[in-house]
Structure 1
Amino acid sequence: MKQNRLAAVDIGTNSIRSIVIEVAASGKYKILDDEKVMVRLGEGLNQTGSISPAAWERALSALSRQKKIIDGYHVCSIEAVATSAMRKALNGPALVEAIKEKVGIEVEVISGEAEAELAALSAFHNFDLDGVRHLIFDIGGGSLELISAQGTHIEEILSLELGAVFLTETFLKSDPVTEPEHQKLRKHIRKTLKASFSPEECNSLQCLVGSGGTITSIAAMVMATRRENYDSSHGYELLRSEVVHLLASLARKSDKERRAIPGLNPDRSDIIVAGVTVVDEVMDFFGVNLLKVNERGIREGLILRGLQKLKLLPGEKPVRSWRASLLEYGRSCHFDEPHCLQVTRLALEIYHALAKRYSFTEKDRRLLEAAALLHDVGYFINYSSHHKHSYHLIRHADLFGFTPRERELIANMARYHRKALPKKKHEPYMRLSAADRALVGRFGGIVRLCDGLDRRRNSVVQGLDCQLDKHTLKLTLQGEEDLSVELFGARAKNDLFQIAFDLKLVIEAPGVVESEAESA
């Protein structure tokens, strides 16, 4: 038995998921195994009040297999919960007993409120919600859990019978869905939400954080439509307009046609219309345009709860921030911290000189800071082609506070800090939108230039005097030591900057004559 390994099992109305993790002394954990089986435990439950014999057997079969996988990892503890279907079924307690006897897993049937608390625990762990009033929600097969919160302070928890399986069986009996059926479903969702929340509670929400299979399916379908290729949908951001357009398309299609939609698991095709309708109505009801995708949700909440029980998390909750996450990741790759901090400082000086003209935003500044801090993490693999290694490391990094798109941009910006400029044959670069390619060129150009400004990696450039006119940016290097090498380094790496900004770059250093800069 390994005291730093833990498993969690989430027995839902639609699927059963198990996850095995290993935790480090710092409290951070890595996933060793992740198994999901679509069991449809809630199939026909609304009509009979009980879990069907077929669903019963599917559940025992899936759990037996998952238990064998878990045992192979020699975990010290298993956290197992069952949600809506088991709460509702008359024979739920009997199935809990059967799982204990035949599989060897003790299952806790939790309330909707406890389910919501697990979803909230995961959201607080994964998203920077400090000072933000938001709504966390999790859509399962049988129920919808909602948590309104200010920062990490929960205001209210509700569990509503608005799960995708339940609503499909209750309202959507035709294939394709008929308009009267769909309108009846919408009316029911609105009525349920209206009865649960006062008008005052609906105001001032700044964002939504959603979890569950419906949410990740929406993200996967939208990503496929955008032709985006990310490792996961965790942290992905969805706009209400995208949900509206997707729902309109799904509702017109038959189940057979939905099965062929890129990004949608065919096993979820029959319940996806009801699930997306719930998301659409929730976003409309609360008047929020942005939905953040939490790919982990309740199962991660289970893991975190289990780690707390076993006292495997630090005594004090760490303050999470995107900047701390960058530094933590850089240090894990043994990056040259003084050099990367110097490149970042100089990059931000140039950024501030250009920000107003080019209408850069605070989010843009974060991307530049991230790319500058992490541009050299590829040294962790080896020096040769370390810029390419930086791209792959950053792309796959778990950077707190950054979306999949933002990680892809940061990775591309870091990739172009040396060697070749962006080319049409560079597939990761060409996958980006035209606007994102322009941003990569500009910020990659700044990082590239500032890497040259610290050519000897000794931070001798103390500052930059930036003078911008219509066609030229003039940089005067400031420092007390000989700056000829840094001047030469910057001039050697100014190509991408000048192309991306369409500016002439003039770089000077007091006391350095041209011959010294050229021969350095």
Structure 2
Amino acid sequence: MADHFAVMDVGSNAIRWQVAAVDHPKHYRILDQVREPVRLGLDVFRTGKLNPRTVDAALEVFTDFKAAADRHRVKAMRAVGTAAMREASDSRRLVRRAKAIGVPLEVLSEKDEARLISLGIMSGLRFHLPLGLFLDIGGGSVELSVADSANTYCLFSLPLGAVRLTEEYLRADPPQRKQIKNLRRYVRESLEPIARRIQKEKFTMAFGSGGTITALAETDTRTAGEGKPGSLIVLRRQRLKALLDLLISRPIAERVEMISGDPKRADIIIAGGLVLYQAMSEIGLNYLFVSKRGLRDGLMVDLLRRQYAESGPWHADADRAESLEQVCQKYSNDAAHSQHVSQLALNMFYQLQAAHKLPERYASILHAAAMLHDIGLFISHPKHHKHSYYLIKSAGMKSFNKLDLDLVANIARYHRKAHPSQKHLGFSQLSPANQDVVRKLSALLRVADALDFKREQRVESVSCALDKSKTLTIAASSSFNLDEEIEWAARKGKLIEEVFNVGLSIKKAKLARS
């Protein structure tokens, strides 16, 4: 029989709780979760005391949480308060009233809040994150940390929450130009020293979380007509700026209609957005990934680790997986190029089976890698091969098991730039046999991609021949001049020479006479 657990995040803008079941170690199922927009931070950051009306509303949520915990017969529960409760002089009274209901409420330290937020976000990733930057904007504070699954290298908590800054700086509707200017200056001065410290860490990805960031990202996605957002949304700094300019010019009544999610966030979204934009600017982020996970999820994972004396990774059961076609449609901006690269790569795969000696089932792996090799362009061109790797791993495609998905992601990752290397964590974690598969198939993909680097589908087909002198000749059929394609393919063909221990000759096939 499954064990049940419950956690609650008593935030400055909203209270979130969750009940989950553990059927087997390392995985849990979410049975029930609720978000209630109880603005516990209302007036706290000005008066230093909790507002009696919001306290009453919070106690109602606590009662509902305890009832759900009892209904599911939870084995353990944990409830924590954040910035509003840290600063309210009368928070101990709320702790006592929560205890009377049966809820063991505690006040979370700034450092523990930042740590648990990063833990919650990482619990939702389907790939190993070497080192990440985590940014969460709450109602009372902003948490920033640089961490991996084992260690936290730096963390900060700043009094830059959206509720706090709105009450202090943005009292007009819409906000006045001078108010915006003063707020920007205060945020910039607060973030500058922190940003300098964070920039010293070599993080590979940046993540944003919290209701304000999620609402901004989903509003941006909807406004851009990009359809329903996935589990990880990409928010770009320049698009955030344009969205903020629009929000700043509108009164609350119009912002309510514009933003995604809770309409009660319309009054604080400008302050939160300005903090996010300034943080991205100071740290030098052109984009970040927005996760719907956060403190509540980190609380659950932390509770389960304690209960099961297990420090390894815990994950909520995955959302419904997508198909290869759905992932292509979501991220690909050039389906014709991907399909053509797949065709050329498969041409080489079948003609060179005597050389690579891989079973035919790997053709589907190569096809998927070819179709997805450029989806990282959805994020940015620089390092897009690495972005492709992370997006593929995050997609969790239903047509592939975990190992096959690892192969697809690694092959796509090596379609350009560095060759496969033990220095790269994702590759080094594969078995020697699977590393061999990645080397061979990425070698073919690199040449296929190079032969269509202009994205004009000039090469109709390829013919491969390996002679006794161990020279592999790839002849490309086309009615166009292929000098540039051949030159580029020869450069990217170095991996073929290494992997198959051959010399490589790429040329244009002679056209048959009619």
TM-score, normalised on structure 1?
0.64
Where in structure 1 do 4 or more consecutive aligned residues deviate above 4 Å? 202-206, 315-319, 338-341, 348-355, 363-377, 463-469, 474-478
Partner residue of 1:331?
none
**What are the residue-to-residue correspondences of 1:27-426 with 2, within 5 Å?**
27-101=26-100, 103-127=101-125, 128=127, 130-132=129-131, 134-149=132-147, 152-198=150-196, 201=199, 206-230=204-228, 233-311=230-308, 313=310, 316-317=312-313, 341-347=361-367, 362=385, 376=399
Partner residue of 2:23?
24
2:222 aligned counterpart, secondary structure: helix
Residues 291, 94 of structure 1: CA spacing in aligned structure 2 closer, same or farther, 3 A cutoff? same
In 2, the alpha carbon distance for the partners of 1:353 and 1:98 equals 56
In 2, the alpha carbon distance for the partners of 1:136 and 1:164 equals 17
Residues 340, 151 of structure 1: CA spacing in aligned structure 2 closer, same or farther, 3 A cutoff? farther
2:175 aligned counterpart, secondary structure: coil
Deviations 1:294-318 (A, max 9, x none): 21110011001100111075x6558
1:12 pairs with 2:35: no
In 1, the alpha carbon distance for the partners of 2:16 and 2:55 equals 16
Residues 27 and 314 in structure 2, CA contact (< 8 A), matched pair in contact too: no
Deviations 1:106-129 (A, max 9, x none): 011011111001012123333446
What is the CA-CA distance between 1:476 and the residue it aligns to?
Answer: 7.9
Residues 209 and 294 in structure 2, CA contact (< 8 A), matched pair in contact too: yes
Residues 120, 370 of structure 1: CA spacing in aligned structure 2 closer, same or farther, 3 A cutoff? closer
In 2, the alpha carbon distance for the partners of 1:219 and 1:341 equals 39
Which residue identity lines up with residue 300 of structure 2 in the other structure? I
Residues 373, 51 of structure 1: CA spacing in aligned structure 2 closer, same or farther, 3 A cutoff? closer
Residues 205 and 286 in structure 1, CA contact (< 8 A), matched pair in contact too: no
Residues 346, 141 of structure 1: CA spacing in aligned structure 2 closer, same or farther, 3 A cutoff? closer
Residues 105, 205 of structure 1: CA spacing in aligned structure 2 closer, same or farther, 3 A cutoff? same
Residues 122 and 301 in structure 1, CA contact (< 8 A), matched pair in contact too: yes
Deviations 1:308-358 (A, max 9, x none): 111075x65589xx9xx99xxxxxxxxxxx999434345279779999xxx
Residues 217 and 290 in structure 2, CA contact (< 8 A), matched pair in contact too: yes
Structure 1 vs Structure 2 CA RMSD: 4.2
In 2, the alpha carbon distance for the partners of 1:187 and 1:219 equals 24
Which residue identity lines up with residue 231 of structure 2 in the other structure? H
Residues 371, 46 of structure 1: CA spacing in aligned structure 2 closer, same or farther, 3 A cutoff? closer
Residues 374 and 388 in structure 2, CA contact (< 8 A), matched pair in contact too: no
Residues 317, 60 of structure 1: CA spacing in aligned structure 2 closer, same or farther, 3 A cutoff? closer
Which residue identity lines up with residue 28 of structure 1 in the other structure? H
Residues 347, 81 of structure 1: CA spacing in aligned structure 2 closer, same or farther, 3 A cutoff? same
1:236 aligned counterpart, secondary structure: strand
In 2, the alpha carbon distance for the partners of 1:373 and 1:220 equals 21
Partner residue of 2:461?
473
Which residue identity lines up with residue 15 of structure 1 in the other structure? A
Residues 215 and 259 in structure 2, CA contact (< 8 A), matched pair in contact too: no
Partner residue of 1:386?
none
What is the CA-CA distance between 1:228 and the residue it aligns to?
Answer: 3.3
Which residue identity lines up with residue 300 of structure 1 in the other structure? D
In 1, the alpha carbon distance for the partners of 2:270 and 2:300 equals 30
The percentage of counterpart residues that share the same residue type is: 29
What is the CA-CA distance between 1:364 and the residue it aligns to?
Answer: 8.9
Deviating more after overlay: 123-132 vs 82-91: 123-132
Q: List alignment gaps of at least 5 residues for structure 1.
A: 327-337, 378-393, 411-462, 479-520
1:75 aligned counterpart, secondary structure: coil
Residues 392 and 405 in structure 2, CA contact (< 8 A), matched pair in contact too: no
In 1, the alpha carbon distance for the partners of 2:192 and 2:16 equals 32
In 1, the alpha carbon distance for the partners of 2:150 and 2:465 equals 45
Partner residue of 1:455?
none
Residues 318, 54 of structure 1: CA spacing in aligned structure 2 closer, same or farther, 3 A cutoff? closer
Deviations 1:161-219 (A, max 9, x none): 00000000010010001111011001001111124454684675554211111111112
In 2, the alpha carbon distance for the partners of 1:354 and 1:294 equals 22
2:123 aligned counterpart, secondary structure: helix
In 2, the alpha carbon distance for the partners of 1:474 and 1:296 equals 47
Partner residue of 2:511?
none
Residues 348, 248 of structure 1: CA spacing in aligned structure 2 closer, same or farther, 3 A cutoff? closer
Residues 340 and 372 in structure 1, CA contact (< 8 A), matched pair in contact too: no
Deviations 1:474-516 (A, max 9, x none): 47899xxxxxxxxxxxxxxxxxxxxxxxxxxxxxxxxxxxxxx
What is the CA-CA distance between 1:5 and the residue it aligns to?
Answer: 1.3
In 1, the alpha carbon distance for the partners of 2:265 and 2:191 equals 24
In 2, the alpha carbon distance for the partners of 1:347 and 1:477 equals 22
Which residue identity lines up with residue 20 of structure 1 in the other structure? V
Residues 9 and 79 in structure 1, CA contact (< 8 A), matched pair in contact too: yes
In 2, the alpha carbon distance for the partners of 1:300 and 1:279 equals 22
Residues 344 and 372 in structure 1, CA contact (< 8 A), matched pair in contact too: no
What is the CA-CA distance between 1:4 and the residue it aligns to?
Answer: 1.9
What is the CA-CA distance between 1:135 and the residue it aligns to?
Answer: 2.1
In 1, the alpha carbon distance for the partners of 2:44 and 2:362 equals 62
**What are the residue-to-residue correspondences of 1:426-465 with 2, within 5 Å?**
none
Residues 195 and 282 in structure 2, CA contact (< 8 A), matched pair in contact too: no
In 2, the alpha carbon distance for the partners of 1:88 and 1:281 equals 25
In 2, the alpha carbon distance for the partners of 1:354 and 1:146 equals 30
In 1, the alpha carbon distance for the partners of 2:374 and 2:143 equals 45
Q: How many residues align?
A: 378
